[in-house]
Each structure stands twice: as C-alpha cells, then as structure tokens.
Amino acid sequence: MTNSVERATELKRELRTQLLRWFDRSKRDLPWRKSREPYGVWVSEIMLQQTQVERVVRYWTKFLAKFPTVKSLAAAPLEEVLGLWTGLGYYSRARNLHVAAQEIVARFEGELPDSVDALLTLPGFGRYTAGAVASIAFELEAPLVDGNVARVFSRLLELDGVPGEKAREAGLWAAAEVLVSGARPGDWNQALMELGATVCLPQNPLCLVCPVRASCKALASGRVDELPRPKKPPKRKRLELAVAVARRGDEVLLARREEKGLFGGLWELPGIELVLGATSDRALQKLLGKKAAIGPEFSVVERTLTHRELVMRLHPVALPKKLAAPPPGYLEWRWVPRAELAALGMSSATQGALAETTD
Ligand code: SF4
C-alpha cells in the first residue's frame, strides 16, 4: 500500500495534467456523458459492468426511452425490466437496479442521493458504482477502481500482486483516492477508465501513443508485459439440470423462476437440479408429477457461467391439457408462441436450449 500511495503522490501532478488534457481531446461521444444526469449515469455504470461499451449504448438508449426516470423504473413490473435486459447477462444487476429504484423513491423522493455513504446503502451499489455515480454525476472526489483502472495503475505505478489479493486491492484503492482529489473528479475517473479501455489494453497496450507514457513506471522498467500479474482461474461448480421441453403446436412451455438466486425472475424451460445419482427422467417426473410423460434425453446444452459449468439435459415432455400449479421454484408457467419469446427476459443458456428445440 505504501508503494502505491507514494508513487501516486509522486506522479499526481503530471498524470492529472496529461490525462485530463488527453480526455478533453479524445473522449468518446457517449449518450450518458451529455447531461451527466445521475439516473442516466447510474444505469450506464450498471450496464457497463462486464459489457462492451458499443453494446451498452444500444441498451441504454432503449432503457432510458422506456424508463426515463427513477420513478418510472420503480413502478415498472420486474418482468418488463428483465425483458429489456435480455442479452446483457448478469441479471442480478437488473433486479438490483429495479429494487434500488424503489428504495430511492421510498427513501430519497425519487432522486439519487449525493453522497457515497448514502449510495452504498442501496442494493447493487458497491464501492465502484458509488464512486462512479458520486464523481461523474455529483463531482465528488470519490475514488473508483474497476478492471480497467486496476490494469492502468498496475502498469503506471508498477504495482505487483495477484488480482483478487486483499493487499493489492487496498493499494489500488489507496492510489485511486490520492489521484482523484482535485478538480474535475468525474472526468478524472472517466479518463482513467477510458485510457484502460482504449489505450492501456490487456494485450498489446498502445504505449507509443499513450498520453501518460512519459510517467509510466512499467514502461520505463520494461515490465509492461508482466503487469498486471495473471489472475488465478475461478473455481467453477458443475450444475447439472434436467430440463423439460413441452411443445403445443408453435408454442413452448416456459416457467418464470422465483425472484431470488441464479436466473431469478427469468423465464426458462422448466428444470430441476440433478443431485448426485439421480437420473434426469426421474428428476423431471418428480418435478412435473405423475401425469407428465417424460421422453428420453434428446440433447445436452453446456454453458460456462462466471461461477458455474452448466449442463442442461433436454427431454421431450407431454403434459395434460390443463396446466396444474407451476412446479416448485417457479412463480408461474405458460405456453408461449415462438414469436413472443424475444420479449421475455431469459438467460443466454435458456436461449441456447430453446435453439435446440426448433424443428
Ligand atoms: S505507457 Fe503503456 S503500459 Fe504505461 S499506461 Fe500507457 S499504455 Fe499503459
């Protein structure tokens, strides 16, 4: 930590001058940068986590057209919010956005609060999001560190340490705090992220055209290719599901998950986790009841998620004409014409499974 603070303090004046000048010249023209309205900034920051900026521009524009204020988002059914999120992934972000909007209406009269501490009390706000909204929308000297900033600092300040290690994270946040204090904190944070996204790239950074190359410690010591050190690969749990594919003419039977947990609130083909030793047809019989006729497995769809290896075993299923209550774990189920599938919030894993069910 001492190293990071010392180096940030030593380079602060020149870095701020060089980087802010570069940002003024070359920042990308993004819709949420025009007004810096707190709600728009917040939505953009949530969408930008794990998603490319070009993609976010499309989703953000549609989202703001449909829900132009915190109040309109708070009043919308979750299903509608998830529908607009389809394709962006990480659906807990959309659920948190929705719950947080309701809290903002209940506790802050529909306006985002203008302090980091108050923002941190809202669902979905970690240090990063609170720092981004506070600095960009409210011009507070609030630090932030995301993957881009961590990479830039690792090289610029020549910081060792493996991503995820506590000491490294603490050092990065301490450096961010030193550097954000001063004029234009929102622009400073955006300039850092922009540098990481467009110049100080993970592979083959564009050091020759980098606006802070004269100050970069890793460049001076020839260690750009070594920093940041590689992450430890995440341990993924295998999750195996038996999945029912019930069809009626052009319609498919879909069920909406309870709102908590993995894929919460999303539509999917009804399924059940396979516990050790269970066969998929027996598990489905248990899920759907005695009257369901379960056919043999016809396809297996595999997906790698952030923390899981997902395996879906698909079975054709025939159900009685009148649907009983939805199976355990689901809020509702219904027959959905294929033409209407695109309007429902569903994971890419479910989209992959549905692709296996077309004739
Ligand atoms: S000089 Fe290269 S390594 Fe250093 S900050 Fe710029 S792009 Fe990154």
pLDDT in tens, 176-199: 999 999 999 999 999 999 999 999
Distance CA 38, CA 137 (A): 5
CA of 230 to the centre of ligand 1 (A): 17
- The pLDDT value recorded for residue 358 is 76
Whole-number Å distance between alpha carbons of 35 and 19: 22
29-57 pLDDT, tens digit each: 999 998 899 999 999 999 998 788 999 99
Cβ of 144 closer than 6 Å to ligand 1, yes or no, is no
With a 6 A CB cut-off, is 219 part of the ligand 1 pocket? yes
Query: pLDDT per residue over 92-115, tens digit each?
Result: 899 999 999 999 999 999 999 999
* pLDDT value for 1: 58
In contact, 140 and 185? CB cutoff 8 Å: yes
DSSP string, 104-151: HHHHHTTS--SSHHHHTTSTT--HHHHHHHHHHHH--------HHHHH
Q: Identify the pLDDT of residue 277.
A: 79
Strand partners, 253: 335
Q: For ligand 1, say whether the CB of 218 is within 6 Å of any of its atoms.
A: yes
In the numeric block, the tokens 């919030």 are attached to 345
List domains and CATH numbers for the chain: 2-226 (1.10.340.30), 237-355 (3.90.79.10)
| Cα 347 to Cα 353: distance, rounded to the nearest angstrom | 10
Q: pLDDT for 54-98, tens place per residue? A: 999 999 999 999 999 999 999 999 999 999 998 888 888 999 999
Ligand 1 pocket test, pick from 152, 198, 209 with the greatest ligand atom count within 8 Å of Cβ, gives 152
pLDDT recorded at residue 261: 82
Distances 138 to 27, 32, 63, 72, 151 between C-alpha atoms, Å: 19, 14, 22, 22, 26
What is the structure's pLDDT at 357?
83
Position 2 confidence tier, pLDDT thresholds 50, 70, 90: low
> Quick check: CB of 19 below 6 Å from ligand 1?
no
Active site includes 141? no
Choice among 14, 37, 45, 194 that is catalytic: 45
